[in-house]
Structure 1
Amino acid sequence: MNKKEIRNRLHNQMKEGKHLIGVAAGSGLTGKYAQKGGADFLLALTSGRFRQMGVSSSAGYLPIANSNENVMNFAVKELLPLSNQIPVIFGLMANDPTIHLRNYISTIQKKGFSGINNFPTVGLIDGKFREALEEQHISYAKEVEAISIANSLGLFTVAFVFNKDQAIQMVKAGADVICVHFGFTKGGILGPKHVRSLQSAKTLALEIFEACEKINSNIIKMIYGGPVTKPADVQFMYNGTDIHGYIGGSVFERIPSEQMILQVTKSFKETDEVQYEQLSHFIMDGFTSKKDYIDFIKNYIRLHYADNISLNDLAEYLGLSRSYLSTLFKEEVGTSFRDYLIEYRINLAIDILKTKILPLTTVAEMVGYPDYAQFSKLFKKKLGMSPKEFAKRNKNTKT
């Protein structure tokens, strides 16, 4: 697929109100079923291949193998055969000193890849090591150059960015997708244990996208990694924003494989059919650690936001103390349970007010506030204006 075809396909989905999904696939198996699940494009990344070897994604930053050769070898054989269905994007190590950048990008194009992505990226490296790399001209600027070259050759480009300055550079270089990268994905056995909170990730993404839109209002805005590991997390990032989609790697292949293979193997070892069924449901529900209780709460809010939701009731249901659950939630999400629930509901109300013609009292009830006065107070605190004022500005709600 060429750049124009991909952009048209993605923008058409966005016009229909659908969010975009990119999957960083390390094998044909992942690519095949990601496509069946509705993925819009595949990223062929060296870290994806290492994940399939049972190694952390960070192995893509170690001198174990040549990154570009690694991607080329597996992606041509396993992912490109799927390219007649969805585009395959090549994860390019732009700072590879053994290649001529423009010539190599041309080779990528001739092999049948639809575009490139800047990975492995210097953006994930900091401190003294980053300084040492940049002294030798191994820099993020080279990645920007690669995106610019690919754009000039008519390739679709997905740019990982980590701050506003990088995002602005990538937009000016012609990137089709600006994807805010929050770091390696949390969770599972091989994932990092310390990442930023959901709230801080959302704040960062909105700051970066605001800067991008001043340059190109048609830029496709996506997010990747860090604390965003479950559908409820993605929904939290979408609520009250115009983020267009999510790209994931570990969440689609490493974490599910770790969980299912480990627990199912144990079940067969014990030949306990009942335990096997229980474990399967347990894993599918995401309960593999105490912190996964928080994911249950976020998902519960997503499904029952219109109901009366109490942290006391949830704590009792989960068999935990309220104080412990409250502390755990704030550590994991970066905000209190109460503030998270309020933001979720008010953001939903904003979306409803923008798209539907309904009385304000009805909107309040739809998002869980039968007391309109309470709803109005919370709405005004978040937006600095009442629901009625907001509705008048959007001119599509009965007041």
Structure 2
Amino acid sequence: MEKEQVIRQLRAQLHVNGHIIGASVGSGMTAKLATLGGADFLMVLSAGKYRIMGRSSFASYFCYGNNNEQVMEMGTREIFPVVRNRIPLLFGIMATDPTIQMYDYLNQIKTNGFSGIVNFPTVSLIDGNFRIALEQEGNTYNREIATIRLANHIGLLTMAFVTNREEAEKMLNAGADVICIHLGLTKGGLLGAKKFISLGEAKNLMNDIFAVCKQKNPDAIRMIYAGPATTLSDMHYLYKNTDCQGYIGGSTFDRIPIETSVLETVKAFKHHSEPSSDNPVHQLIDRNRGKGNVVDSIRQYIEAHYMEPIQLGDIALIAHMSPTYLSSRFKKEIGVSFTNYLLDYRMGKAKELLKNRLISCKESACKVGYGDYIQFSKMFKKHVGLSPKDYQAMYNNH
């Protein structure tokens, strides 16, 4: 697909659906399923191939193979044949590859049917003495910026992985069509990152970088990649509290579903039982037995019961944990306290309700778990800066 056509499609999705979804795929099967699931574009990264092999995404930073050759092979022989040009494919290019002439290689990428590029593996994820040594040899982030600029010149869609304001500003100056904040390796599952930033930290970073995007080029699409955001709850929180316009999943859309499905299916056959229930209360009990993350289960419980009274002490009893420990664990993983997270979620729901002129402020309060309207009004004004009536009037006057 031509760049202009892809951008038109992405903007149409933003207008109609409110956000866009990208998938970093490591095999023809995940590419086919992600396309059927409604992904707006696919990224072919060497990290995806290593994930399917049972390795960490960081394997793409080691000398196990030539990144650009792997991506070209995977894209042209495995991905294209199963998606048949029904969806844009972005090529994960290693801009510091000394074996290619970049202008010629970008034209080859375009000729082979890729709609665009993304700078991966990116130097921005490397730090310390190794980063210093790489830059002394000329392997710098500036080469990735130059590649984005050159790709724009020949008509390829350009997505830039960035990790801070400075990188975002430089990529915007180079003409990047999409700015994607890489939040680090994906948490969760057997191979997931054991160290990751909290959702609160991710939110602050996103607001910082997206402010630069909106100032320098409001037309640049704003997205994030993985890190601590691996569930719908994560993205609901980040969409409500930032100017994010889309999410790209790697492990979220291939490794974690495969781990979960294969593990649960084999266990079910082994023990002659059905997979565990999706009931949030059951999940809280299961999480205490080592089956996943209790914090994720708490957030799912909030999503299902936010309109009812919720006490952390009750949840702690169900999960057989102390309230103090559970509170500490929640804040450590999410970056905000349980109370503030619940408040943020309820106020986000209240704002959605108040945009509807057919519902009263008092009804909105009841629907988000506040029986006392005065208390609701006080908390809403403190959180949003306007009273519920003023907030509703602001939207109804547009």
Which residue matches 1:153? 154
Rounded Cα–Cα distance in structure 1 between residues aligned with 2:48 and 2:264: 23
C-alpha distance in structure 2 between counterparts of 1:290 and 1:321, whole Å: 18
| Contact preservation (8 Å) 2:181, 2:224 | yes
Structure 1 residue 2 displacement after superposition = 1.2
- Amino acid corresponding to residue 129 of structure 1 in structure 2: F
Q: Identify the residue that residue 12 of structure 1 maps to in structure 2.
A: 12
Conserved 8 A contact 2:354-2:360: no
Aligned equivalents of 2:96, 2:84: Cα separation in 1? 26
Quick check: 1:240–1:350 contact (8 Å CA) kept in 2?
no
Counterpart-to-counterpart distance in 1, 2:215 and 2:243: 15
Query: What is aligned with 1:136?
Result: 137
Per-residue CA deviation, residues 91-138 of structure 1 (Å, 9 max, x unaligned), is 010111111111111110000001101100001001111111112221
Q: Is the 8 A contact 2:265 2:275 kept in 1?
A: no
TM-score, normalised to structure 2's length? 0.92
What secondary structure sits across from 2:307 in the alignment? Answer: coil
3-state SS, counterpart of residue 113 of structure 1: coil
Identity of aligned residues (%): 46
CA distance in 1, matches of 2:330, 2:207: 23
- State whether residues 24 and 42 of structure 1, in contact with CA within 8 Å, keep that contact through their aligned partners in structure 2: yes
Unaligned 5+ residue runs, structure 2?
Answer: none
- SS at 1:214's partner residue? helix
User: Counterparts of 1:1-399 in structure 2 under 5 Å?
Assistant: 1-81=1-81, 82-268=83-269, 271-274=270-273, 277-278=274-275, 289=290, 292-354=293-355, 356=357, 358-396=359-397
How big is each residue's C-alpha offset from its partner over 1:218-263, in whole Å with a ceiling of 9 and x where there is no partner?
A: 2211111211111111111111433111101011111222233344
Distance 2:133 2:319 in 1: 49
Maintained 8 Å contact 1:380/1:386: yes
Deviates more, 1:79-88 or 1:199-208: 79-88
- TM (norm. structure 1) is 0.92
Which stretch shifts more, 134-143 or 286-295? 286-295
Asked if 2 retains the 8 angstrom alpha-carbon contact of 1:88 and 1:114, the reply is yes
Cα displacement string for residues 296-340 of structure 1 (whole angstroms, at most 9, x for unaligned residues): 111222232222222222223333332222222112111111100
Contact 2:3–2:155 (CA under 8 A) maintained in structure 1: yes
Q: Does structure 1 retain, via aligned residues, the 8 Å contact 2:160–2:176?
A: yes
State how far apart, in whole Å, the 2-side matches of 1:92 and 1:302 are.
Answer: 39
> 1:148 and 1:139, CA in 2 relative to 1: closer, same or farther beyond 3 A?
same
CA RMSD of aligned residues (A): 2.3
Cα deviation digits, residues 361-383 of structure 1 (max 9, x gap): 23323322232222222222223
Please tell me the residue identity of whatever aligns with 2:363.
T
Distance 1:281 1:213, change over 3 A: closer
Deviation at 1:285, TM superposition (A): 6.3
- One-letter amino acid of the structure 1 residue matched with residue 88 of structure 2: P
Asked if the contact 1:356–1:396 (Cα under 8 Å) also holds between the matched residues in 2, the reply is no
Retained in 1: the 8 A contact 2:206–2:242? no
Cα distance in 2 between the residues matched to 1:357 and 1:68: 55
TM-superposed deviation, 1:86: 0.9
**Helix, strand or coil for the counterpart of 2:216?**
coil
> What is the letter of the counterpart of residue 49 of structure 2?
R
Write the deviation string for residues 146-176 of structure 1: whole angstroms up to 9, x where unpaired: 1111112221122111011111111221212
Secondary structure of the equivalent of 1:229? coil
Structure 2 CA distance, aligned partners of 1:170 and 1:367? 41
Check whether the contact 1:264–1:280 (CA below 8 A) recurs between aligned residues: no
Return the alpha-carbon distance in structure 1 between the equivalents of residues 96 and 357 of structure 2.
Answer: 49
Whether the 8 Å CA contact 1:353–1:396 is kept in 2: the answer is no
Tell me the distance in 1 between the aligned counterparts of 2:42 and 2:134.
Answer: 29
Contact 1:151/1:157 (8 A) holds in 2:
yes
Q: Distance in 1 between matches of 2:192 and 2:331?
A: 21
